[in-house]
Structure 1
């Protein structure tokens, strides 16, 4: 008899759960249903930290309640640390993440003293071409440009690897840097650069600077220099090994450069002096190619 009572209670619970879910779904407009982002489900605990690795740098995190605490891992932009702030919280909560590539992720969180897993790699899911439940947001720095479209354009330029420009380069100390192409889409410039190392000594990049420099004072002072912000980088590089070459795509806002100035890109070697410079004039920018000339399809 006890068995049948328990079974009846379980069936009733399942029925009520489905009824509640259907009732909740019925309150959502059919049009909104089409745009639903199904959340991931995960469990957290109080004594251990859960880590989530995202395919891109984390730009924004919103926690659904004070039962959760979260923060980016130190010195790492795409790893989120998460744990329960109180033990045995009963109510389900949630959190959301927006990454630098414009993707929006949603998570439902439950408490467990013994979580099934403490580490989740969404980056690996992307590498395996598995479907990642995420939406897309427009990022302020990209304006009306879709982050996905922007990434596809950068990827296309990178893999087509055309050499459209031959006169902008610098070769010193066995290192050669060159600008291979300038492209434009929706007012944004895409710069295709390459660095070749003809020596056996690795060329380690400390940092890269971008600034507009006055031709008349470039060799005497930097007072009138104007820094230029890089919006995105495709295939960022830190080191060019011996007898190797590496390429990158840099995304910049629309630039209006006067004839007596130029855009100066400088690659600084870490603990070395084999610095490289590229000088881009307004006459070069106005010859930028458009995506149609690359035969990019979406």
Structure 2
């Protein structure tokens, strides 16, 4: 009788889809790791500033009784104030472009002791998957890698356009992962300052007839190092533009167009498909993290 009861229990567990082995496999990779929140006191009459190492991509308020605004010019700065005096303790969660997750417990203080917090990189880095923007680039990695490219002074084959005392030069193309980096130099040999109105990257057909509609595709940069592309008289500046990785057939080329604001000194470079294929690869040294380093 005991054996029969035991058999019935085992059959019931199998019908319910349970077994000790199955339960062990469903346990998951391990226990969740908690993120300890930082303390943040805010006031009704004073503005607190949170300065993050990378651009802020997501903000979640636990209550509408705190006011949060992202600085339009500096994407890595948040302004925080109290919506009313004496609000109940609430929370604030911020995610940055590098995947850093920051958690705060927010309380009211009429006169906060600290009004500006300079936040370090999240530890461990990549608390959440690094965010990829609409351009397909990881903005945080693009920012770091563009600085490495700017520091590389190796002369590479490039293209130049000279007009009206202005020069736009492509001084190298680099690639890492799914992102390509274009190192540009803008030189102003005139006595008139140059203010750029736009820097565009266009994929175009090499040849087209009047009966055929011209098709072009614009690539959107995910990061520009050294911008904006404006140059004082008798000076020069370097730019590094991060774009999604692209290769082209022999029938197309990449056009880099620089337009002058309220002027006519427009410049253009034509980059053939074979120059894109000669992009210089680079990677981090062994054991290094994803911080800015020299080659």
Aligned in 2, Cα 1:187/1:270: closer, same or farther, shift over 3 Å? same
Contact 1:145 1:186 in 2 (8 A): no
Equivalent in 268, 272, 276 of residue 281 of structure 1: 272
- Conserved in 1, the CA contact under 8 Å of 2:247 and 2:277? no
On the 8 A contact 2:65/2:83 being kept in 1, the answer is yes
TM-score by length of 2: 0.74
Counterparts in 2 of 1:37 and 1:274: CA distance versus 1, 3 Å = farther
Detail structure 1 runs of 4+ shifted over 6 Å in the superposition.
142-146, 218-222, 294-297
Pair 1:197-2:188 in alignment: yes
Judged with a 3 Å threshold, the aligned counterparts in structure 2 of structure 1 residues 269 and 53 are, in CA distance, closer, same or farther, namely farther
Q: 1:160 to 1:109 in 2, by over 3 A?
A: same
- For the residues of structure 2 that align with 1:96 and 1:219, how far apart are their CA atoms? 56
Aligned Cα RMSD in Å? 3.3
Pick from 104, 110, 113: which aligns with 1:113?
110
Please say if 1:231 is aligned against 2:226.
no
Q: Which runs of 5+ in 1 are unaligned?
A: 1-28, 123-130
Distance 2:82 2:194 in 1: 44
Structure 1 stretch displaced more, 37-46 or 283-292: 37-46
Matched residue, 1:13: none
Q: 2:146 aligned with 1:154, yes or no?
A: yes
1:290 aligned partner = 281
Contact kept, 8 Å, 2:198 with 2:259, in 1: the verdict is: yes
| Distance in structure 1 (CA, Å) of the matches to 2:231 and 2:209 | 28
Q: 2:169 aligns with which of 164, 178, 181?
A: 178
Relative distance call for 1:222 and 1:237 in structure 2 (3 A) is farther
Native 8 Å contact 2:149 2:183 kept in 1: yes
The residue aligned with 1:252 is 243
Which stretch shifts more, 148-157 or 227-236?
148-157
* CA distance 1:145–1:271, shift in 2 (3 Å): closer
TM-score normalised to structure 1 length? 0.73
Shift of 1:285: 0.6
Offset of 1:142 from its aligned partner?
9.2
Instruction: Choose from 133, 138, 143 the match for 2:130.
Output: 138
- Equivalent positions of 1:7-156 (< 5 A) are 39-74=37-72, 76-91=74-89, 93-122=90-119, 131-133=120-122, 135-136=125-126, 137-141=129-133, 149-156=141-148
User: Structure 2, unaligned stretches of length 5 or more?
Assistant: 1-28, 289-295
Structure 1 residues 204, 256: CA separation in 2 closer, same or farther (over 3 Å shift)? same
Structure 2 vs 1, CA of residues 238 and 104 (structure 1 numbering), >3 Å: closer, same or farther? farther
